[in-house]
Amino acid sequence: MLVAQEAPLKIGDVARLAELSIDAVRFYEREGLLGRVLRTPAGQRQYDAEAVRRLSFVRRATALGFSLAEVKGLLTLRVSARTPCERVRERALTKLADIDQRIAELQAMRDALARLAHNCDEPTAAGNCPFLDELARPLGAVPSTPTDCCD
């Protein structure tokens, strides 16, 4: 029985199908996320459907916040014959905890910025902007008046 060979894809086709830019495809290739990419004698890259699947996987994983190193690990788990879901779940939960931590840090930044912006309603006795004064204050220094502080 003869098996039909799928036609090789050009980089523009792969980029379009994976919803990435051509530069992103080249970048992920350089980072080793595509495996071996065949080339014509003229040096033109030739991709297969698996390259599109891998690039789509990379795009979706990075959109969920996984670093390229983490994506490489996930790709390794994906190609393993019998990767237990528990190992994948652990990685997902670790990433979720990391995102929760970043959200908490961003919320603290937002709250501090809101307090600083609120202090701009009235300048200090010297006519200075409390927001700018607070940014100029050395870290750990105690503000001279309560209105100068936003902590």
Domain spans of the chain?
A: 7-64
pLDDT reported for residue 148: 44
Q: Are 19 and 56 in contact (CB under 8 A)?
A: yes
Query: What is residue 119's DSSP assignment?
Result: G
Strand partners, 38: 46
Q: What is the pTM of this model?
A: 0.72
For residue range 96-119, list pLDDT tens digits in order. 999 999 999 999 999 988 988 888
pLDDT tens digit sequence for 70-97: 999 999 888 776 778 888 899 999 999 9
Quickly state the pLDDT bin for 143 (edges 50, 70, 90). Answer: low
What pLDDT score was predicted for residue 149? 46
**Check: CATH 3.90.1150.10 for 7-64?**
no
